[in-house]
Structure 1
Amino acid sequence: MNLKKNIFKTDLQLLRTVVMTTIFSLGGCQSIADMDKPLPPEYFLWKKSGASVDDIKRADRGCWNEIQRNKELSSGTSEDRANYSDICMLKKGYVFVPKPDGYPDICSYQTFKNSFACRSTRGEYHALPD
């Protein structure tokens, strides 16, 4: 009888371990599930009250043009250039949209998680307007 209790207890512990492992494993599946989805166009990631798609494209292009004109910025890492562009857009009054309709959450990707744009959506960064 005692052996039967131990086997049942072991089976229960094993079942609990399998269930918990499955639950924790599935928590990271969203990013994995979205891996094959394309990233949205840059202009889907920004919004501003009253701004058209053309306004967003023009503002974004202006930020990247500033980077190209500045030798120090243009010779920096791609992460530095992307962060500068984020700051530039935020200073122009645009708000970052991390999960546009039909696209994965950009900020769930490790690559973008600590960008200034993603940090702004979490309230960790505030750009003062020019």
Structure 2
Amino acid sequence: MNDTSHHDDRIAKMTFASVYPHYLAKVEKKGRTKDELHRVIEWLTGYNEEKLQALMEAKVTFEKFFQHATLNPNAHLITGVICGYRVEEITNPLTQKARYLDKLVDELAKGRKLEKIMRVA
């Protein structure tokens, strides 16, 4: 894999609040709801809607966002390509978590069932 240190640093410094509106617009454009988006985010991070709102108001970076998250034990089951990289092969833990979230948002926007997105048996 190419050196992605500049990319990793950019993701770490980006605020969750700056990206969230893009996630919401992407899923709503495809007929999904804010509630579904929040369910997927909560599944991955453990953050409920109230905590998400507080994190956005505090303008936390992705680094802080994932530092305090309780990553779902099944997150490692998220596989596939996002932004040209296979999420399961990303070596930087923070970048991988951010790409997990990107992948889940993509799956939601593509109409995948919530049970499949949340890797429920």
TM range (shorter): 0.3 to 0.5
Q: Which has the higher contact order (CA 8 A, sep 6+)?
A: 2
Query: Structure 1 length as normaliser, TM-score?
Result: 0.31
Query: Structure 2 length as normaliser, TM-score?
Result: 0.32
Which protein shows a greater Rg? Answer: 1
